[in-house]
């Protein structure tokens, strides 16, 4: 079996010949061929090292030896379906449950985040007997049909103008680009009221709400952090309408937000979703996913699923590594440090409109005009291409593709943070020179401690 | 990390506590705890050996060392998504393509058979601009919402009386239990005419056909072998209506049918589906799946997918083992031998209504009355429970759960075949004694070479 031996051009040619064109590569003009990876680093066919700021799937670090060993050992022993009793399945379910509020006690394993979210919808439909789903602007919940229907991020790409009849799109609770911003007295209530309005409109048409679904922090949607209290208020409206609240943790779970193990916990101790879905970081790259619900609210279902002994062995090893290496703590500390470095960038670069994030889930929102918050889409593309030349992997996302998106393996270090920020600093300086954007001396000296109007100078 | 160390009752208790009740175990009264497996054998916590006649997922044998080694080696090196160039992806796509007719040239990788079938539907919808799907009675195509809609096997279980508006259920091309049986002059044409009728009815209502989907041989539906020529005729009707033909090879592909690598090839060299989906045997238990389509007919789509280097390494190793150990040849030879032994059983046991299959995909249809072909559901359950006591794993399936279903790992041997048939022989003898069913001497002496009416004697 050949691995990594083809000439790069040959790999590209074979890919064009055999693999569907919609299976995209990063940096399509000059894609990267990666042959090995370790921790937060990936290596190309010339053994050149790339710093990986994007692969949240390799949650505890690429090819973590403990995870590889657990998977390999179990593969040698047994890999079969969950119709036989096996300790890995039950021990893993028990272990995962322990990270969640007690009410979220019923667990199913499937093979991908998409399968987990599809299952969540089905159970919501069955349990409530209702059909309608409320989703957020720019949301992405997976690539199977039922989820494309509820993923504006996806159905807009596919040039589907209108969502399906049973899908309602609520305002994204984005306090930087949304309808209610940081200057609004109570954006949490205001955004939740929008959900309430949608429910009322639906009821007027004789429709009924089965579920509200949201990522605990919106990822593809542009690294959006919902204001605290928003989920509680939304859940109340949705439950009053007989629906359930689904928190999608596929991108943001497993300690990434630093202060908590799950993203939804950022909303406060009093908030418990009815359903939580988990995805790829769960297996550090191994295809697996999971789903928890509260017994009280959802009982009926019929299926058989994933959760084979190999997946569960890998899942257990991932949890062990997170604990042993205190990766949640690392996400908190390095994430805070990286955020602080990026905040400093904002003080020196007009192109930086907003820095937002929790733990190692951070967005740098680039703008052409700070007052108007005009998305700097082309500039964001420029930044990621130039970073790639410096062997740093970063991506731009959000509805305008202008948000630089940090979600590195959780073993990301201080030095990594300093390196990527130093490079971005240089690139932004260059870009601003070309664009004729410059901070005034006065603004720079203020050092960002007070709220101020930034002065835009065209040279 | 503990593995296989819990007391069996503790495993059961933890499973009840944490895992959803609809994730079923085999033999729910007294489930089996399996801790290791090799080839066609599985071992319980007491190291007692079970002969496995059901796990088609462990296609080349449980824990095949070549497959384990390929997976483990690649896990150590790199496991990331398909947005980077990697040789495993393109080499595997090339290798799989070589097993298919040339027109099926465009490949996508996903994580499960369900994801592959969902993708097939989506592409059919996009390509044709039509919405309606024709599926077969008792079909099962997967567990995500779009597939439950087209799986009568599943939606009947879930007590959904009527299929969705866009789903049409065609007659199962079953020449033993269907509308047109082996005594019909041309069942292939007759069953295909049913599809044509459905299309005409749909057109009258202003509806349009996007696709016809069928397993190349129906598995959960009761090991149904469609008459040769049926697919060609159906494809013609469906293509005339602007739809596409999807062949689901998730259960039956990869050499299992013995004479050919793919089940649809049993229909003849002239038949090429527009879309072929492949599932779990592809990875010998590793969650992966694949999808091929003909470029000419389907082009547009937008997604990102599976096909990570580990999955592809495993997929390549599986293909290597199939070749190296001539497992397709083994399926042909052992399958024929097993079929012959089962045919002999039919000569001695009134409970055996029909023996049908190809290669190592065989059904033994148990009946209480041969003339009326009354399904012997309880007796089939009895057989599988008694086999379990003898440490042989077999299952009963089909709409009446009366078809004993053979789909063992492809390394199944002559001795295995003899053992399972010997045990079934004894069990059927016992059951028939209890039921008062007995062959007349006259019938037994005829030795089954001529077509004859079986005489039923009640003692």
Torsion from C-alpha of A432, A438, A444, A449, nearest 10 degrees = -70
State mean pLDDT over B410-416: 98
Q: pLDDT category, A211, cuts 50, 70, 90?
A: very high
Q: Count the neighbouring beta carbons within 10 Å of the beta carbon of residue A433.
A: 11
Alpha helices in A244-326 (DSSP H): 309-324
Closest approach of B4 to chain A, Cα-based (Å): 5
User: Is A94 a member of any domain?
Assistant: yes
User: Is A155 a member of any domain?
Assistant: yes
Give me B153's structure tokens. Answer: 């096997």
User: Is B6 a member of any domain?
Assistant: no
Residue B302 and residue B377 in one domain: no
**What integer pLDDT is reported at residue B302 of this predicted model?**
46
Q: pLDDT category, A350, cuts 50, 70, 90?
A: very high
State mean pLDDT over A78-97: 92
Return the percentage of chain B with pLDDT > 70, whole number. 91
Q: Count the neighbouring beta carbons within 10 Å of the beta carbon of residue B379.
A: 21
| Unique residue bearing structure tokens 């002994």 | A309
User: Is A456 a member of any domain?
Assistant: no
Contacts of A380 (CB under 8 A, 6+ apart): A366, A396, A401, A402, A403, A404
Residue A172 and residue A279 in one domain: yes
Indicate if the pLDDT at residue B4 is higher than 60: no
Query: Closest to B79 (Cβ–Cβ): which among A78, A285, A316?
Result: A285
Indicate if the pLDDT at residue A451 is higher than 60: no
User: Is B12 a member of any domain?
Assistant: no
User: Is A385 a member of any domain?
Assistant: yes
- CA nearest A159 in B: which residue? B302
Closest approach of B251 to chain A, Cα-based (Å): 15
Indicate the range of A224-238, A329-343, B15-29 predicted with least confidence: B15-29
Indicate if the pLDDT at residue A394 is higher than 90: yes
A76 near B CB under 8 A? yes
Range among A78-92, A287-301, B30-44, B142-156 with highest mean pLDDT value: B30-44
Q: What is the pLDDT of residues A270-312, one digit of tens each?
A: 999 999 999 878 888 888 888 788 864 454 444 445 788 999 9
A-B C-beta contacts closer than 8 Å:
320
State mean pLDDT over A346-373: 97
Indicate if the pLDDT at residue B3 is higher than 70: no
Residue A306 and residue A216 in one domain: yes
Closest approach of B250 to chain A, Cα-based (Å): 15
Residue B231 and residue B256 in one domain: yes
Indicate if the pLDDT at residue B161 is higher than 60: no
Residue B44 and residue B114 in one domain: no
B303 near A CB under 8 A? yes
State mean pLDDT over B391-407: 97
| CA–CA dist A326, A320 (Å, integer) | 10
**What integer pLDDT is reported at residue A293 of this predicted model?**
84
| CA–CA dist B148, B99 (Å, integer) | 29
What backbone phi and psi angles, to 5 degrees, belong to B133? -120, 135
CATH number at residue A153: 3.40.640.10
Q: How many domains does chain A have?
A: 2
Residue A109 and residue A257 in one domain: yes
Residue A138 and residue A261 in one domain: yes
Indicate if the pLDDT at residue B407 is higher than 50: yes
Residue A348 and residue A202 in one domain: no
Residue, of A12 and A292, whose pLDDT is higher: A12
State mean pLDDT over A238-263: 97
Check if the beta carbon of residue A174 is closer than 8 Å to that of residue A163: no
Average pLDDT, chain A: 90
Domain-ending residue, one of B267, B298, B324? B324
Residue B255 and residue B113 in one domain: yes
Domain-ending residue, one of A298, A324, A350? A324
Terminal-to-terminal C-alpha distance of chain B? 59
Residue, of A438 and A209, whose pLDDT is higher: A209
| CA–CA dist B137, A350 (Å, integer) | 63
**What integer pLDDT is reported at residue A290 of this predicted model?**
86
**What integer pLDDT is reported at residue B285 of this predicted model?**
84
In chain A, residues with a C-beta closer than 8 Å to the C-beta of B65 are: 76
Alpha helices in B105-229 (DSSP H): 113-128, 145-148, 152-157, 187-204
Residue, of B226 and B459, whose pLDDT is higher: B226
**What integer pLDDT is reported at residue B291 of this predicted model?**
78
Closest approach of B448 to chain A, Cα-based (Å): 39
Contacts of B316 (CB under 8 A, 6+ apart): A1, B70, B88, B91, B92, B95
Interchain proximity A79–B62, CB inside 8 Å: yes
Query: Closest to A83 (Cβ–Cβ): which among B25, B77, B87?
Result: B25
State mean pLDDT over A107-117: 89
Q: pLDDT category, B110, cuts 50, 70, 90?
A: confident
Residue B341 and residue B431 in one domain: yes
State mean pLDDT over A311-325: 96
| Unique residue bearing structure tokens 């409530």 | A128
Distinct helix (H) and strand (E) counts, chain B: 13, 18
Indicate if the pLDDT at residue B457 is higher than 70: no
**Residue range of the domain that includes A204:** 65-324
Q: What is the pLDDT of residues A126-171, one digit of tens each?
A: 899 999 999 999 999 998 999 999 999 876 665 555 678 999 999 9
Residue B183 and residue B241 in one domain: yes
What backbone phi and psi angles, to 5 degrees, belong to B447? 65, 20
Query: Closest to B33 (Cβ–Cβ): which among A37, A84, A301?
Result: A84
Indicate the range of A80-84, A204-208, B168-172, B256-260 predicted with least confidence: A80-84
| CA–CA dist A257, A146 (Å, integer) | 28
| CA–CA dist A239, B362 (Å, integer) | 50
CATH number at residue A407: 3.90.1150.10
**What integer pLDDT is reported at residue B295 of this predicted model?**
60
Domain-ending residue, one of A324, A342, A367? A324
**What integer pLDDT is reported at residue A159 of this predicted model?**
53
Indicate if the pLDDT at residue B304 is higher than 60: no
Residue A113 and residue A151 in one domain: yes
Indicate the range of A133-137, A201-205, B4-8, B340-344 predicted with least confidence: B4-8
User: Is A300 a member of any domain?
Assistant: yes
User: Is B4 a member of any domain?
Assistant: no
């Amino acid at each position: 079996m050949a691995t990594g031996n083809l000439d790069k051009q040959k790999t590209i040619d074979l890919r064009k010949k055999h693999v569907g064109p919609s299976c995209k590569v990063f940096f399509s003009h000059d894609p990267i061929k990666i042959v090995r990876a370790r921790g937060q680093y990936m290596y190309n066919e010339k053994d050149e090292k790339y710093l990986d700021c994007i692969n949240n799937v390799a949650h505890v670090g690429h090819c973590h030896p403990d995870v590889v060993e657990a998977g390999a050992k179990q593969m040698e022993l047994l890999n079969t379906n969950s119709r036989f009793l096996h300790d890995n399945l039950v021990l893993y379910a028990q272990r995962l449950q322990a990270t969640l509020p007690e009410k979220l006690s019923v667990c199913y394993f499937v093979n991908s985040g998409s399968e987990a979210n599809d299952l969540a919808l089905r159970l919501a439909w069955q349990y409530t007997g209702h059909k309608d789903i409320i989703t957020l602007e720019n949301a992405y919940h997976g690539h199977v049909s039922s989820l494309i229907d509820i993923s504006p991020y996806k159905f807009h790409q596919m040039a589907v103008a209108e969502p399906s009849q049973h899908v309602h799109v609520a305002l994204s609770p984005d306090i930087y680009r949304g309808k209610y911003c940081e200057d609004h007295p109570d954006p949490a209530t205001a955004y939740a009221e929008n959900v309430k309005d949608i429910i009322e409109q639906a009821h007027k048409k004789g429709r009924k709400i089965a579920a509200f679904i949201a990522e605990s922090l919106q990822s593809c949607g542009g690294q959006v952090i919902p204001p605290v209290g928003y989920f509680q208020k939304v859940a109340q409206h949705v439950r009053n309408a007989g629906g359930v609240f689904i928190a999608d943790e596929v991108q943001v779970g497993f300690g990434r937000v630093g202060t908590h193990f799950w993203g939804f916990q950022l909303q406060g101790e009093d908030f418990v979703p009815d359903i939580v879905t988990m995805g790829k970081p769960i297996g550090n790259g191994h295809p697996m996913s999971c789903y928890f619900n509260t017994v009280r609210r959802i009982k009926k279902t019929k299926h058989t699923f994933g959760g084979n002994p190999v997946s569960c062995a890998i899942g257990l090893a991932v949890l062990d590594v997170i604990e042993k290496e205190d990766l949640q703590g690392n996400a908190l500390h390095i994430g805070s440090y990286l955020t602080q470095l990026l905040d400093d960038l904002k003080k020196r670069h007009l192109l930086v409109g907003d820095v937002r994030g929790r733990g190692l889930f951070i967005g740098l929102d680039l703008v052409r005009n700070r007052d108007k918050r005009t998305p700097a889409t082309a500039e964001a593309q420029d930044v990621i291409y130039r970073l790639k030349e410096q062997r740093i992997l970063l991506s731009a996302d959000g509805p305008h593709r202008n948000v630089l998106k940090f979600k590195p393996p959780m073993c990301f270090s201080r030095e990594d943070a300093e390196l990527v920020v130093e490079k971005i600093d240089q690139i932004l300086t260059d870009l601003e020179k070309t664009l004729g954007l410059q901070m005034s001396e006065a603004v720079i000296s203020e050092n960002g401690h007070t709220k101020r109007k930034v002065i835009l100078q065209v040279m």
